[in-house]
Amino acid sequence: MGYRLASLNENGIPGLLDGITDRAAWEAKKQAIRKRWLTAIGELPERVPVRYAVLSETDEGDHVRRHIRYDTVHGDEVTAYLLVPKPVAASPDCPATAKLPAVLALHPTVDSGKDDTATESGRENRRYGLELARRGHVVLVPDAITAGERVYPGAQPYQTAPFYERFPDWTAVAKMAVDHMQGVDLLCSLEFVDAGRIGAIGHSLGGYNAYFLAGLDDRIRAVVSSCGFCTFTGDPQPGRWGRRDWFSHIPSVTDDLERGFVPFEFHEIAALAAPVPFFNWSGQADSIFPHWRPIAEAMNDLYGLYKFLDADDRFVSLIGTCGHDFPEYIRRAAYDFLDRWLKT
């Protein structure tokens, strides 16, 4: 099942609740969407046991930043920063009452990867991992494949060709998802983390990775996506999701587009997380995802699903006039949203 792209561009996004009369019917549709999603991105391999090493530790005053490396599938390792607020950081054997909420902060498309989000050296409006640690969250900030310390030898950042040489029948999207699920495993293993209060946040690449993760891992209890949601409908560059010279997300999308089809619409993928609390921010002047009207239409349809599930208080969608950015006033609202669902 899929959609003719010309029909989407003419008629708008497909309704999530078209033909749905009760929750059982929605659950059946949700499972069908999940099946289509996994067919497109590839199955998720069985995760490996939690194992990580602390490479170094830096005292940042109000928190400790631990440079770590943790195991993931197929013998790979993920480099990351673990930001631990004080005084918990000083007492690894803290009592259960000291357990804190945790957040995976997923970085945008930037060569430095995790540093952009977790350290003072990060760009303006991108240090959301650091800021959440200062608000009392344990924060895991992993490098995505091809970024930070995970650039393939001899390749440039965000070149996925070496990945596909080894895994021609898999996708970078599924690889990132399983790496992040391994990150959730790690957080759940920490004595000072409340495994029932874990969220995900990201901007751009990190934004869609955050809601992809929430739809695949029910341990994510709240998600924030900044400038990471777009639709095939109205997209001037739908091929961005297929094969490219640099970062290829889902190669089979290229074949689908050549036949005039798309395998799904992205609000369906976001719907896999419902009714998990979801905060979305999009900009009308976004140069990366400029088609804000169908994005707004998709968000409105997703809100309708949350209402149908009696969870409309768990959904926030904001669209403003700025560009591909995560401005301070939106971050404040996003952090308050995470606090509401992870700290209470």
pLDDT at 97: 56
pLDDT at 296 over 70: yes
- For residue 176, which of 276, 108, 83, 264 has the smallest C-alpha distance? 108
User: What's the pLDDT band for 87 if we cut at 50, 70, 90?
Assistant: confident
Backbone angles phi, psi at 73, to 5 degrees: -65, 160
Bridge partner residues of 3 (DSSP)? 262
Peptide bond into 87 cis (omega under 30): yes
Segments of the chain assigned E as strands: 3-4, 52-59, 63-71, 77-85, 100-106, 138-142, 193-203, 220-226, 261-262, 278-283, 315-320
> pTM of the full predicted structure?
0.95
Q: Helix or strand or coil: residue 119?
A: coil
Q: How far apart are CA 221 and CA 277, in angstroms?
A: 7
3-state secondary structure of 24: helix
pLDDT tens per residue across span 184-224: 999 999 999 999 999 999 999 999 999 999 999 999 999 99
Asked if residue 231 lies in contact with residue 266, where contact means CB atoms within 8 angstroms, the answer is yes
| pLDDT in the model for residue 88 | 73
Average pLDDT over residues 234-244: 96
Q: How sure is the predictor about 89, in pLDDT bands with cuts at 50, 70 and 90? A: low
State the Cα–Cα distance between residues 139 and 132, nearest whole angstrom. 7
Q: Which domain holds residue 51?
A: 3-342
Judged against a pLDDT cut of 50, whether residue 96 lies above it is answered with no
Residue 274: pLDDT over 70? yes
Q: How many residues make up the chain in this entry?
A: 344
Residue 82 confidence (pLDDT) above 50: yes
CATH no. for residue 110?
Answer: 3.40.50.1820
pLDDT in tens, 64-79: 999 999 999 999 999 9
- Tens digits of residue pLDDT in 107-154: 999 999 999 999 999 999 999 999 999 999 999 999 999 999 999 999
Is residue 293 within 8 Å of residue 228, measured between CB atoms? no
pLDDT above 70 coverage of the chain, percent? 97
Smallest CA-to-CA distance from 145 within 78, 213, 49, 214 is with 78
Residue type, 5: L
Q: Which two tokens stand for residue 109?
A: 């498309």
Range 67-82 burial, b when 16+ CB lie within 10 A, else e? bbebbbbeebbbbbbb
| pLDDT bucket at 344, cuts 50 / 70 / 90 | confident
SS (H, E, C) 133-191: HHCCCEEEEECCCCCHHHCCCCCCCCCCHHHHHHCCCCCHHHHHHHHHHHHHHHHHHCC
205: which DSSP letter?
H
What pLDDT band is residue 304 in, cutting at 50, 70 and 90?
A: very high
- pLDDT score of 90 more than 60: no
How many structural domains are present in the chain?
Answer: 1
Name the residue with tokens 């790496």.
Answer: 179
- The residue-averaged pLDDT of 294-305 equals 98
